[in-house]
Amino acid sequence: MNLKIQITICLFVLLGLVTACDTFKDEITPDSTTYAEVPKSLDGIWQLKTVSRNGTDITHAMDFSRFRLHLDKDNTYTMENYLPFLVKKNGKWKIDDPIFPFFLVFKQEGTDEEAKTEISYPIVNGKRQITLSFSPGCVGNSYVYSFEKVEK
């Protein structure tokens, strides 16, 4: 076979391979689909599930499950069956960021002071929880309260 014919055949094969390839085109553009984090909904009734003090689980020391924290949509809160907590009276609540909350802030009725606590917002066994870390009164004692949202 002639060298010119071989080169011509190779060029056609190469040209055929290059044009025959289907290039991937992403049909989703940044403008066509928006991926946004949904604001966290903390409103609802929260039942205390676990309690630790200074790193020790004390959940079974007493019946903590009766304590309920009601976080209402109008940003007011009430407490049921009070336990040592960040605040002693009902009042108003807010979070620092609706999408990625790191702090939950309570403001008791009749005071201008705010009580701020760290918050985590995990899903455990398919249920939403909130975990609050704080030191009520004595700085030497730190508590971690884990709440689970309860149906009304």
Whether residue 133 contacts residue 121, with contact meaning beta carbons closer than 8 Å, is answered with no
Cα–Cα distance measured from residue 149 to residue 152, given in angstroms and rounded to the nearest whole number: 9
- What pLDDT is attached to residue 102? 92
- What pLDDT is attached to residue 55? 93
- What pLDDT is attached to residue 2? 75
- What pLDDT is attached to residue 121? 87
Cα distances (angstroms) measured from residue 146 to each of 6, 12, 57, 110, 152: 76, 70, 11, 27, 19
- What pLDDT is attached to residue 33? 57
What token pair was written down for 63?
A: 């019946």
Mean pLDDT split into 10-residue runs, the chain, 152 residues: 72 62 56 69 93 94 92 96 91 93 94 92 87 83 92 72
Q: Which residues contact 114 (CB under 8 A, 6 or more apart)?
A: 105, 106, 107
Helix/strand/coil percentages in the chain, nearest 5: 15, 35, 45
Cα–Cα distance measured from residue 146 to residue 67, given in angstroms and rounded to the nearest whole number: 11
Identify which of 40, 135, 34 has the alpha carbon closest to the alpha carbon of residue 95.
40
